[in-house]
Structure 1
């Protein structure tokens, strides 16, 4: 190899010391620099004059092979001799990796980090520093040089801050750091994913901190103790007002609390803070309502063919209201708008068909209890058979719009006023016979889950 043949005196006849290890990366750099100087026919003094900033002694030490020169010195040496600066830079990087008494080589053998395990910003900072160490712990000046050669911006101060735990401010900054650590483009994707995951976690943590402060302020408002806490009795009262029963003792405002829904008897865990903020809902109640609605729609098709035409017509004229499942009892209230419909539905012959449809949609054991809901003004008999349907529309029990004529609106107002007076006086409603139980009350106090239509 030609660089092993160059040994001898410099331009003034002074012999140079032999390179300690000419086949090592540092030795190859020294041999290249010596060959370049001899090819240019320059002494170290003349070479120093060309660089205008580097002393002859520094240049001679750079070509000695005993110590690694600074990158700027090696590049100035190459330019002054007319050498290939890029090739000298490559030799310098190789020499840096294998120099420093073996410390860089030992760091290169260190295990590389796992960016897929990064969860937050501290994890990301530690992983980036471990990456730098596994890549030979390049100096921050070298990292700046590598990034600049790749068209990226990475200052030495930025590389220092990232290596000491600071988070890259953008994906461009992260990519520049990865380029400086000689991470291939294919390997950078997992680092971008780790950066995005850590940023999202930081945003969630900030939002959670703000949310906790808001919760503390809300608790201080509803608290009934001197310490700004909600007592057991107040918590249970708030819970019942929201439609739940406590299944365990209350602990604190943000602690999960095992409760039971008063509507469907489902057991789940909520927080009192969600109850206060009206964010606590039963996960099973919407399902129960939907299942009852589906079963009612199936009943109206009379799949078994056992229901008479009059009963099916009466079922279509009725409206199923929100069901309630308490313990093992499923209460299905049905609003009946007229006496003819009530007469057909009181027989209870359609209950087995309804129960069969419900069991096909509700996958749990229950005891069916059908409640016929009706309320008739016995003081004034209706003049036509559509009066109670009109009253049901006015009360919001069916989906079709009520009459908008002045007479109809006046009649609706009288009905609502009469219903309020009846509720205050505790007037009992007509009781239905048969296996079904009948409840009393104003139609305006019910909200339908579906309307079967006429």
Structure 2
């Protein structure tokens, strides 16, 4: 008769209940540990005896081999092992458990992927790296012990084949591997973005050193403000860093937004509201042509329909609306300014910002023949970039005279947006 086994230290604990189940199964089967070792074919008698001692937590594969050799319920033994494993993680109270399997769908980077793979290995009974190598080889996969060790210590799998071999070694079924492949792809994309961001930051640092005016290779406050104003913006706060967001105000339309000085220097900073301003002005012009108030005469409405509104500019609180006039009859009808209040009312319904209206009449008749004057002037205005529709190129036209009618200060000279340097519009709003 052999020596009796030592009593289980704590038979009511999760680890003790696992040991009790294993011991009872061996006694009911009537096997010694040597016979059990022969039936398992891979586990030594000493390892089986320690598994049933209740002092240490055996590997999950050892507990399952013990159960199969004794004819026990393998699923029940697996459940008892997981309960003992959860208790060994940090002394969790009875009845309070967590999911034994990791969550690969929550993986965002390579570090999280490696942590999830290690949790998967621990949930599978923490098999040795030699055992993982044998499992992968039995399934036709290549996974060395050193590779499995590096993955469990934080080095991400280099390929999907390596990842699949690790999953096979952790006994993940084929239907459960797709979510791990998705996690690997997400982590790889994030790593690529991180490398690109690092390269971009280094390039910006070198570019800043080129345009910097200080010995430290950085742009000073004065130089940053000067670059900003040259690009058409005004600073609303102190300059902090070359690639830091900076609150600015557009000198054209007065809109406030945040940009980076690096984008300004690279000419990638644009005002988001300036295109909207022209759109709102055209919407107001289309509303004006319907004469909703009924206060405009038919002659004025005909003259307005014959004219063309050009891209507007809102500089600070001054809204400049240039209007191209194609013939002298239209010019005489629109010079009165009686239609300005109606235009201003329509503009205020579309532009939710205080402004000071200034209407500019753009015309030139001295250099063009009398035949087809209106069509010719419209084509020239569009070819010069005053209207957004592309047309065939045309000869250079003479000076455009711009008459201002509205509330602008008398004698103030203004230049309509988009006009070439050879066109010199003037203002005689006081006439």
How many residue pairs match? The answer is 398
- Quick one: distance in 2 between partners of 1:88 and 1:272? 69
Instruction: Give the equivalent residue in structure 2 for 1:309.
Output: 298
Greater relative contact order (CA < 8 Å, ≥ 6 in sequence): 1
C-alpha deviation, 1:34, in angstroms: 3.9
Which one of the candidate residues 127, 139, 155 is aligned to 1:140? 127
TM-score, normalized by length of structure 1? 0.66
| Structure 1 residues 192 and 382, CA gap change in structure 2 (3 angstroms) | same
Question: Is 1:237 matched with 2:226?
Answer: yes
Residues 234-263 of structure 1, C-alpha deviation per residue, up to 9 Å, x if partnerless?
A: 433322221122344434322333322111
Secondary structure of the structure 1 residue equivalent to 2:210:
helix
Question: Is 1:279 matched with 2:258?
Answer: no
Instruction: Give the equivalent residue in structure 2 for 1:106.
Output: 91
- Quick one: distance in 2 between partners of 1:111 and 1:235? 55
Aligned pairs for 1:233-382 within 5 A? 233-377=222-366, 382=370
Aligned pairs for 1:411-450 within 5 A? 412-413=394-395, 415-416=396-397, 419=398, 429=401, 431=403, 445=420
Instruction: Give the equivalent residue in structure 2 for 1:27.
Output: 20
Aligned pairs for 1:49-88 within 5 A? 58=46, 61=49, 65=53, 84=71, 87=72
| Structure 1 residues 314 and 439, CA gap change in structure 2 (3 angstroms) | farther
- Quick one: distance in 1 between partners of 2:60 and 2:111? 32
TM-score, normalized by length of structure 2? 0.69
| Structure 1 residues 383 and 242, CA gap change in structure 2 (3 angstroms) | same
C-alpha deviation, 1:342, in angstroms: 1.1
Instruction: Give the equivalent residue in structure 1 for 2:29.
Output: 36
The CA RMSD over aligned residues, in Å, is: 5.1
Secondary structure of the structure 1 residue equivalent to 2:248:
strand
| Structure 1 residues 289 and 140, CA gap change in structure 2 (3 angstroms) | farther
C-alpha deviation, 1:345, in angstroms: 1.0
Residues 250-279 of structure 1, C-alpha deviation per residue, up to 9 Å, x if partnerless?
A: 343223333221111223332110001111
- Quick one: distance in 2 between partners of 1:176 and 1:443? 64
- Quick one: distance in 2 between partners of 1:245 and 1:102? 63
Structure whose CA Rg is larger: 1
| Structure 1 residues 317 and 15, CA gap change in structure 2 (3 angstroms) | same
| Structure 1 residues 28 and 278, CA gap change in structure 2 (3 angstroms) | same
Aligned pairs for 1:386-425 within 5 A? 386=374, 387-398=376-387, 412-413=394-395, 415-416=396-397, 419=398
C-alpha deviation, 1:305, in angstroms: 2.5
Greater shift, 278-287 or 250-259, is seen at: 250-259
Greater shift, 338-347 or 239-248, is seen at: 239-248
Greater shift, 193-202 or 250-259, is seen at: 193-202
- Quick one: distance in 1 between partners of 2:273 and 2:155? 47
Residues 206-230 of structure 1, C-alpha deviation per residue, up to 9 Å, x if partnerless?
A: 2221211121222233334444333
Task: Say whether the 8 Å CA contact 1:17–1:64 is kept in structure 2.
Answer: no
Secondary structure of the structure 2 residue equivalent to 1:368:
strand
| Structure 1 residues 175 and 300, CA gap change in structure 2 (3 angstroms) | farther
| Structure 1 residues 312 and 70, CA gap change in structure 2 (3 angstroms) | closer
Secondary structure of the structure 2 residue equivalent to 1:257:
strand
Q: Tell me, which stretches of 5 or more residues in structure 1 are unaligned? A: 1-13, 423-427, 447-454
Instruction: Give the equivalent residue in structure 1 for 2:206.
Output: 217
Aligned pairs for 1:89-128 within 5 A? 89-90=74-75, 93=78, 96-97=81-82, 103=88, 106=91, 120-122=109-111
- Quick one: distance in 2 between partners of 1:171 and 1:225? 49
- Quick one: distance in 2 between partners of 1:194 and 1:324? 51
| Structure 1 residues 327 and 180, CA gap change in structure 2 (3 angstroms) | same
- Quick one: distance in 1 between partners of 2:252 and 2:85? 75
C-alpha deviation, 1:358, in angstroms: 0.7
Secondary structure of the structure 2 residue equivalent to 1:373:
strand
- Quick one: distance in 1 between partners of 2:316 and 2:283? 22
| Structure 1 residues 400 and 362, CA gap change in structure 2 (3 angstroms) | closer
Instruction: Give the equivalent residue in structure 2 for 1:8.
Output: none
C-alpha deviation, 1:176, in angstroms: 7.3
| Structure 1 residues 162 and 321, CA gap change in structure 2 (3 angstroms) | same
Q: Tell me, which stretches of 5 or more residues in structure 2 are unaligned? A: 422-431
Secondary structure of the structure 2 residue equivalent to 1:24:
helix
| Structure 1 residues 442 and 272, CA gap change in structure 2 (3 angstroms) | closer
Instruction: Give the equivalent residue in structure 1 for 2:425.
Output: none
Residues 34-59 of structure 1, C-alpha deviation per residue, up to 9 Å, x if partnerless?
A: 44355xxxx7777777777777x648
C-alpha deviation, 1:182, in angstroms: 9.7
Residues 104-142 of structure 1, C-alpha deviation per residue, up to 9 Å, x if partnerless?
A: 683685767998987654456557767877x6x932349
Task: Say whether the 8 Å CA contact 1:61–1:69 is kept in structure 2.
Answer: no
Secondary structure of the structure 1 residue equivalent to 2:360:
strand
